[in-house]
Structure 1
Amino acid sequence: MERRHFLKQSSAYLAGSLFLPSIFKATSRPMGVQLFTLFMTLDQDVKGNMQKIADLGYKDIESAFSRIGGFYGMSAMEFSDLNKSLGMNWVSHHVMGAPFKPRPGFDTSKMPRMNNLRDDAQAIVDSLKGTTVKYLVCANIPVNSKEEVAEAVQVLTKAGKIANAAGLTLCYHNHDREFELVDGQKAFDVFSKEIPADLLKFELDLGWATKAGVDPVALFKAQPGRFPLCHIKDFDEGFKNIVPAGSGIVNFKRILDASSIAGMKHFFIEHDMPKDAIESLTIGKKNIGPLL
């Protein structure tokens, strides 16, 4: 009886081992897309473009603002349901920290007003009720003077409290500007010190941080667990152009190997204004997928 039990158990183990590769593949950390990557084309065919993202195997979605208003012309619940129907999870949403000031030449005449955290934090949070969104992310906020940084601290602190009350986590997404000295201080350092970690986490943009000369791994070690989200963005030599993730100079392997220190849970590929968004996302998934 003991011998038959041993052989039965051994056969079960051997059969199970044949499926180990697929098990490991299924339990690897999900890859995500920041939809600003498709900013120039997404609004033209939202469902069709979201289907293309799903077909590439991406699982997590982070939304941004849309030229047609709302959540790409839909209500929050409609957009949430669309993602569910495609087997994807709408994880986070980007908002402006202050009223939107377009770059010269950027036509906003046909765009509806965008809510911002300074003036509309409660309305933004309320709009996400009932969806799968867990993180509200401040995409940027003015930090060009000591006064602007001080105001940003107030805005983010208040927004963090409103988000927490609704079961959301507020994060801040950096560019390189937050790591530059302005009136003797760096905005990122001020945010880190003056806003409690339970009110503000960070979505570290790995490309912009690297461009600023900052070591993401050092940031993780200095503030472990405060980086639940990241943007996987890459640059070419000399940081002149953004390129598909994994085809530039950012050392993603070293950074992602330390992601457990960061407390990182979601990884969004982003490519600002690519010539072909789907091609860039295809390259990015091929290059970054094995690192997760």
Structure 2
Amino acid sequence: YTFSSVIDNDVKGTLQKIADTGYKQMESASSRLGGYYGMKPKEFRSLLNSMGLQWKAHHVTGAPFRRPANAAPPTGSDAKPIVMPPRLNLRDNYQQLVDEMAEGGAAYLVCASTPIASGDEVKASIDVMNKAAEAAKKAGIGFAFHNHDREFKTVDGMVPYELFLSQTDPSLVKMELDVAWAIKGGADPVALFQKHPGRFPLWHVKDLDAERKKVLPLGQGTIDYKPVFAAASKAGLQQYFIEHDMPADPFASIQESIKTVKRMTAA
């Protein structure tokens, strides 16, 4: 997602630059080119492997979102509207998505976001995730839910993230904890790990400014990742992904972030 505003202009060139920076694993997301950046799953995996990259996970939506009639379309870092082709979603296409992940050899299918504007939407999302996760297990791949900050806010008297943890099958539905978004939402990542050990095999790591408003490369903000990584075993961490939502320069961001990670892991 870090490269969503640029990758479709030069898929191979962008991926090669990522590999040249020192990254070995990647997580894909939706593309304006359709499919997997204009490719079939096996074709995309082969391209990644030719560059020394491993395909670890892929982001999809849980169900279509209803955008308010007067809402402006989302824009990229270039301030231009992001126009996406019709996208598959877990509610309507979970089996196809699972089959494509199995074909491509990715380890996890991840629900990147899902409608939670009402209690009914929250409950529907839980049903969708349980069903998709069961299909994923049968195909030999993992399933996880990725959070933003809004899942930690009360909706119709309930906190969606708490329900996602308590009302999905813990053996099937894992969590990809976006650490920064969770903190912005008022959650304590370490407390989550302690309450739900082994439930968080995937993480997103990035930084935030002191006001928790601006996303920054790792090491340039105020999040203290030392206690978070110290609890990695309790979380059940298998893989973490460096991410930066809509950076002005995604290449500069990942270069700075990987330097920080190397310093952290060398300590």
The answer to whether the superposition gives a TM-score over 0.5 is yes
State which of 249, 256, 274 in structure 1 corresponds to 2:222.
Answer: 249
Q: For 2:73, which of 102, 105, 108 is the aligned residue?
A: 105
1:228 aligns with 2:204: no
| Structure number, greater radius of gyration | 1
Q: Which amino acid aligns with 1:138?
A: C
Are 1:96 and 2:61 counterparts?
A: yes
**Structure 1 unpaired stretches of 5+:** 1-35
Three-state SS of the structure 2 residue aligned to 1:237 is coil
TM-score, structure 1 normalization: 0.85
CA distance in 1, matches of 2:258, 2:227: 17
**Counterpart of 1:84?**
49
Q: 1:101 to 1:290 in 2, by over 3 A?
A: farther
- Aligned partner of 2:73: which letter? G
Q: What is residue 161 of structure 1 aligned with on the other side?
A: 134
Measured in 1, the distance between the counterparts of 2:174 and 2:163 equals 13
User: 2:98 matched to which residue of 1?
Assistant: 125
**Corresponding residue number in structure 1 for 2:27:** 62
Aligned position for 1:219: 192
- Give the structure with the higher percent helix: 1
The Cα of 1:186 is off from its aligned counterpart by 0.7
Counterparts of 1:61 and 1:291, CA distance in 2? 20
Structure 1: 4+ residue segments shifted above 3 A:
100-103, 106-109
2:208 is the counterpart of 1:240: no
Contact preservation (8 Å) 2:179, 2:205: yes
Verify: 1:206 aligned to 2:179, yes or no: yes
Q: 1:193 to 1:205 in 2, by over 3 A?
A: same
1:202 and 1:64, CA in 2 relative to 1: closer, same or farther beyond 3 A? same
Alignment of 1:268-279 (within 5 A): 268-279=241-252
Identity of aligned residues (%): 45
Q: Structure 2 unaligned runs (5+)?
A: 75-80
TM-score norm. by structure 2 comes to: 0.92
